[in-house]
Structure 1
Amino acid sequence: MHDSYCEFVLEFGSSPKLLEQYINVHGGIRTGKLMEHLDSLAGSISYKHMLGPGVESLGQIQDRGFYIVTASVDRLDMLSPLDPSRDLRLSGQVIYTGKSSMEVAVKMETIGMGKAEVTVLLGRFSMVCRDAVTHRARNVHPLIISTPEEQALYSMGEEMKKRRQSLALRSLSRVPPSSAEAETLHSFYLQYGQDTKGSSSQVGKGERVWMGDTKLEKCMLMFPQERNVHSKIFGGYLMRLAYELGFSNSSLFMRGGRVRFLSLDGIAFAQPVPIGSILRLTSYVLHSTSSVEFPMIVHVAVTANVVDVETGNERTTNEFRFTWCRDGDTAVSRQVVPKTYKEAMLWLEGKRALELGDEIRAENQT
Structure 2
Amino acid sequence: MTRRIRPRPRPKPHPHPLQLYSLRDICTIRILRFASSPELLEQYTNASGGLRTGMLMEHLDSLAGSIAYKYMLGPEVETLGRVQERGFYIVTASVERLDMLAPLYPVRDIRLSGQVICTGKSSMEVAVKMEALNPNRREETLMLGRFSMVCRNASTHKAHPVNLLIINTREEKVLFKMGESARNRRKYAALHSLSRVPPSSTEAAELHSTYLKYGQDDESLALGDRVWMGDTLLEKTMLMFPQERNIHQKVFGVYTYQLGFANSCLFTRSHVSFLSLDGIAFRQPVPIGSILRLRSQIIHTSPPGQLPAAVHVRVQASVVDVQTGQEEPTNDFRFTWTRDDGQTVPRIVVPRTYQEAMLWLEGQRALKMGTQIRGSRLQGRDR
What TM-score do you get using the length of structure 2 for normalisation? 0.90
| CA drift at 1:114 | 2.4
Contact 2:307 2:344 in 1 (8 A): no
Deviations 1:163-184 (A, max 9, x none): 1110111111111111111111
> Match of 1:180?
202
1:201 to 2:201 alignment: no
Q: Secondary structure at the match of 2:227?
A: strand
Counterpart of 2:156? 134
1:313 is matched with which residue: 326, 344, 366?
A: 326
Q: Determine the structure 2 residue equivalent to 1:222.
A: 240
Residue of structure 1 equivalent to 2:56: 34
Distance 2:284 2:124 in 1: 19
Give the Cα–Cα distance (whole angstroms) in 1 for the partners of residues 345 and 195 of structure 2.
32
Aligned position for 1:50: 72
Q: Distance in 1 between matches of 2:185 and 2:99?
A: 16
Equivalent residue number for residue 6 of structure 1: 28
The percentage of counterpart residues that share the same residue type is 64
Instruction: Report what 1:259 is aligned to.
Output: 272
Moved more, 331-340 or 10-19: 331-340
Q: What's the CA shift for 1:188?
A: 0.6
Structure 1: 5+ residue stretches without partners: none
- For residues 295-353 of structure 1, the C-alpha deviation after alignment (integer angstroms, 9 at most, x for no partner) is 52110000000001111111110000000011343245201011100000000000000
What's the counterpart of residue 20 of structure 2?
none
Following the alignment from structure 1 to structure 2, what is the Cα–Cα distance between the partners of residues 295 and 10? 30
Q: CA deviation at 1:196?
A: 7.9
Q: Does 1:80 align with 2:80?
A: no
Query: What amino acid is the match of 2:122?
Result: S
2:8 corresponds to: none
Question: Which residue number in structure 2 is paired with residue 231 of structure 1?
Answer: 249
Larger Rg: 2
Written as runs of structure 1 = structure 2, the 5 A alignment for 1:316-331 is 316-331=329-344
C-alpha spacing 1:332/1:159, structure 2 compared with 1 (3 Å): closer
Q: What is the letter of the counterpart of residue 226 of structure 1?
A: E
Q: Does 1:189 align with 2:211?
A: yes
Letter in 2 for 1:164: R
**Ranges in structure 2 where 5+ consecutive residues have no aligned partner:** 1-22
User: Which runs of at least 4 in structure 1 moved beyond 4 Å after TM superposition?
Assistant: 290-293
Aligned-pair Cα RMSD in Å: 1.6
Name the SS of the counterpart of 1:230 in structure 2: coil
CA distance in 1, matches of 2:181, 2:316: 27
Cα distance in 2 for partners of 1:310, 1:196 equals 46
Distance of 2:329 and 2:129 partners within structure 1: 29
* Aligned counterpart in structure 1 of residue 40 of structure 2, from 2, 15, 18: 18
1:52–1:44 CA distance, 2 compared to 1 (3 A): same
Specify whether residues 131 and 6 from structure 1 end up closer, same or farther in structure 2 by C-alpha distance, changes over 3 A only: same
Equivalent pair of 1:50/1:140 in contact (CA under 8 Å): yes
Aligned residue among 255, 258, 264 for 1:241? 255
Take 1:295 and 1:93, find their aligned partners in 2: how far apart are those partners?
A: 32
Aligned match of 2:366: 353
* Aligned residue pairs, count: 357
For 2:72, the aligned partner's letter is M
- TM-score, reference length from structure 1: 0.94
